[in-house]
Amino acid sequence: MTQTTSQGGIRVAGDTNVGKVRTTNEDSMIVDPIRGLYVVLDGMGGANAGDVASQTARDAIRDYVIHHRATMEPKALLEAAFMHGSATVFGKAQASREHHGMGTTVVGCLVLDPTRAVVAHVGDSRAYLLRNGRIQMLTRDHTIVEELVDRGLLTPDEAERHPYKNVLSRNLGAKPDAKVDVSEVELKPGDRLMLCSDGLYGYASVEAIQYLLGSGDAPEHVARDLIDLALRGGGGDNVTTIVIEAPQPPQSSTQVVRTSGAIAWWQRRDRFLEIAKDRGLPKNPICRGLAPDEALDLIATSLCQAIFHDLEKSTGVNVWTFAQNIAGGWFERSGEWAPLRALMDILATAARAVVDDIGVKDANLGFLLSVAVSRALVVAELAIGGLLAARLDRVDSELIQFHAQQHDRTYSQPKLEPTGDTGDTGVESSELAESGERFVDNPTVPFLRADRPITSPGVNVELITAIEKTITIARARTSHKAEHVKQILASLERIAIDATGNFASAVLAAREIYGVRPVDDTGVMPLFDALDQARIIIAASVHQISAPDAMRAKVLRALSGAHQRLVGATTGLVLEAVAPYSERLREAQAKTSQMRDLVASAERKRADHERKFASTIDQSQPWETRGNTEW
């Protein structure tokens, strides 16, 4: 028999079983969520009606609580209810010869609210508390052996082996009144209280009980499994248990994303693939040579799965690896930037559409996923930005070399008249070359001029106005102390309006924002935190402008593209800044390796000398004086 119920967020389940040996179940229980009353009783008497004793006490306790719940203090109420149960059982035993001598143990709990409970007991039925995975016994058995242990007449080890360890010193029904132990228990979120008869702990180890209570399964499953545990241990007695679970603590946003968010995302992977296909992903030059289904599987499914795993583990390593593999392979094939940019835009559009679908059904989960998935897309942009920065750095070097070669050819044959028969020109070509303005070997990332012409088709006036309104709202939502965020918002407005599609303006803005800062967490992390905050503020501000949905989508796309370019350019600057430190680290590692080699060589020489001198023995000397250790 299983009873399952709930009380103000508290979940409760009780179960009882006759066991494998007994023919009658002398256990009883109360599961009353209306009054918060939960009781386990274990009747005694066998042929003298132990089942009658437990049921009589059960009914008496429940009736007493029902009639006095509103007039008595909880601890006094539970104690008085147990004493009333004892008097009722005693009276019934005296009235009938066949019931004479019957009695029952009892352990009960009166749950006052999700944070407090009163626990009382008489006999050897027990109450346990599980908190943070650790179990604690709240009651102390009322047995003769335990009384002797309390008085110091027996040790706990001796009590465990004592032949009378199960003989009770207290029970309900032996006397008209009973001495009841009562205590108040503080409940914390996630705590579990368990009430049980000796049929459970007598046939199951405390470790096994703790494992099942802490399993995280629903109380009804735990109560059932505890019964099965006692039966597998022999089932030599009736067994009853009640599991009471306090409300679980509210999940943090990270926990929600790792559980509900990750599952919701993965369940909509078909929607992600559908949008990617509709947006033309299989036709992208990066997918040339692949069938449409293969392209979707290799690229769209891979990113969808990478985001799922990163949501589960609150990391970004899978998305980073995906972006590096896609971009690295494309750049190795001498691929252009535009197809890669278009591919990432398609994937970002599909991801945001999936998040929007989730937000329609669950706005809170949709918001949390919007932040998490947007962060994943930023990670992908950072990974690509690193590869792009390295590629642009190589282009810088090649341009520098080409420029220097052009200057060398220009000044290698100067047009000057000779001054003598020897053919001396009067000025050496090298001197003339040095007198000219030479290109300075100081590469930057990337190698672009501020006056590079804009290649994008431009932005119409309506879109410009909508972008300006969005940035104005975003500034109003920004804290007055967030100077970095305000500077980034101004830069994003310039990039989105003046140079859409051009990476050069993003580079100039990134250099202005980066300024001079230390190359460590205190210098770099606030910059990227500000970039992330600006992205979140813009996403919220777009919804507040007065414009059609189509125009809002255009504004969001323009500002998102500007943000992606700014993040990529900023990443390139960071990589350039840390390059000297990386070079110094490599030099230090090389020197350390050389020193290790020198130490190893010295050790080998020392070992050779030890072997050489230790084996020098004068054969003409007596045996005990042949060796000479004075080296």
Q: What is the 3-state secondary structure (H, E, C) of 58-106?
A: HHHHHHHHHHHCCCCCHHHHHHHHHHHHHHHHHHHHHHCHHHCCCEEEE
Closest Cα to residue 11, out of 221, 210, 209, 208? 221
CATH number, domain containing residue 319: 1.10.490
Cα distances (angstroms) measured from residue 188 to each of 109, 113, 185, 255, 630: 16, 11, 10, 19, 75
At 409 the pLDDT is 62
| Model pLDDT for residues 184-232, shown as the tens digit of each residue | 999 999 899 999 999 999 899 999 999 999 888 889 999 999 999 999 9
pLDDT of amino acid 421: 47
Q: Is residue 558 part of a domain?
A: no
Peptide bond into 446 cis (omega under 30): yes
Q: How far is residue 415 CA from its own chain's centroid?
A: 73
Last residue of a domain, one of 378, 408, 438: 408
233 and 258 in a single domain? The answer is no
> CA 34, CA 116: separation in Å to the nearest integer?
16
Contact 7, 33 (CB under 8 A): yes
Say whether both 257 and 223 belong to one domain.
no
Distance CA 205, CA 226 (A): 11
For residue 178, being part of any structural domain is answered with: yes
Side-chain half-sphere CA neighbours of 183 within 13 A: 14
Please check whether residue 383 lies inside any domain of the structure: yes
- 262 and 145 within one domain: no
Domain co-membership, 68 together with 97: yes
Q: Please name which of 549, 558, 542 lies closest in space to residue 460, comparing C-alpha atoms.
A: 558
Its domain, for residue 273, covers 253-408
357 and 288 within one domain: yes
Residue 459 is predicted with a pLDDT of 62
Residue 169's alpha-carbon distances to 88, 116, 149, 166, 297, in angstroms, are 19, 29, 13, 9, 72
Residue 32 · residue 266 · CB < 8 Å: no
| Tens digits of residue pLDDT in 117-140 | 999 999 999 999 999 889 999 999
- Whether residue 423 is contained in a domain is answered as no
Exposed/middle/buried for residue 465 (C-beta within 10 Å: 0-12, 13-18, 19+): middle
To 10 degrees, the CA torsion angle through 327, 333, 336, 339? -60
Query: In terms of domains, do 182 and 266 share one?
Result: no
Residue 424: per-residue pLDDT? 47
- Residue 369, phi then psi, degrees to nearest 5: -70, -35
Say if 380 falls within a structural domain: yes
pLDDT confidence of residue 110: 95
User: Residues 291, 192: one domain?
Assistant: no
Q: Do 23 and 127 share a domain, yes or no? A: yes
Can you list the positions of beta strands (E) in 209-327?
239-245
Q: Is 444 exposed, middle or buried (0-12, 13-18, 19+ CB in 10 A)?
A: middle
**Residues lower than pLDDT 50 in the chain:** 415-457, 499-500, 615-619, 623-631
Burial environment of residue 125 by CB neighbours within 10 A (0 to 12, 13 to 18, 19 or more)? buried
Nearest CA to 81 out of 98, 96, 93, 67 is that of: 67
Give me the pLDDT at residue 460, please.
Answer: 78
- Domain assignment present for 364: yes
Give the SS3 label for residue 7. strand
Residue 31 is inside which H or E element, if any?
strand 27-32
Total domains present in the chain = 2
Q: Is 78 exposed, middle or buried (0-12, 13-18, 19+ CB in 10 A)?
A: buried
Instruction: List own/partner pairs for 451-454 with CB under 8 A and 24 or more apart.
Output: 452/502, 452/504, 454/498, 454/499, 454/501, 454/502
Is 556 part of any domain? Answer: no
Q: Which domain-ending residue is among 186, 213, 245? A: 245
**CATH number of the domain bearing residue 84:** 3.60.40.10
Residue 534 token pair: 């600006």
Nearest to 137 by CA among 73, 209, 81: 209
Name, in order, each residue with C-beta under 8 angstroms of 393's C-beta and a sequence gap of 6 or more.
Answer: 443, 445, 446, 576
Does residue 208 form part of some domain?
yes
Q: What is the rounded CA–CA span in Å between residue 360 and residue 355?
A: 9
Residue that has been written with the tokens 């300024």 in this structure: 515
Q: At what angle do helices 461-477 and 549-614 cross, to 10 degrees?
A: 60
CA 619-625-631 angle, to 5 degrees, is: 90
Task: Give the tokens for residue 407.
Answer: 């200057």
**Residue 340 and residue 11: Cα distance in Å, rounded?**
53
**Domain co-membership, 131 together with 48:** yes
Helix locations, 437-520, DSSP H: 461-477, 483-498, 503-514
Same domain, 324 and 392: yes
Among 389, 408, 427, give the residue marking a domain's end.
408
Nearest to 566 by CA among 521, 486, 508: 508
Same domain, yes or no, for 266 and 203?
A: no
Looking at the structure, do residues 370 and 267 belong to the same domain, yes or no? yes
**Model pLDDT, residue 519:** 66
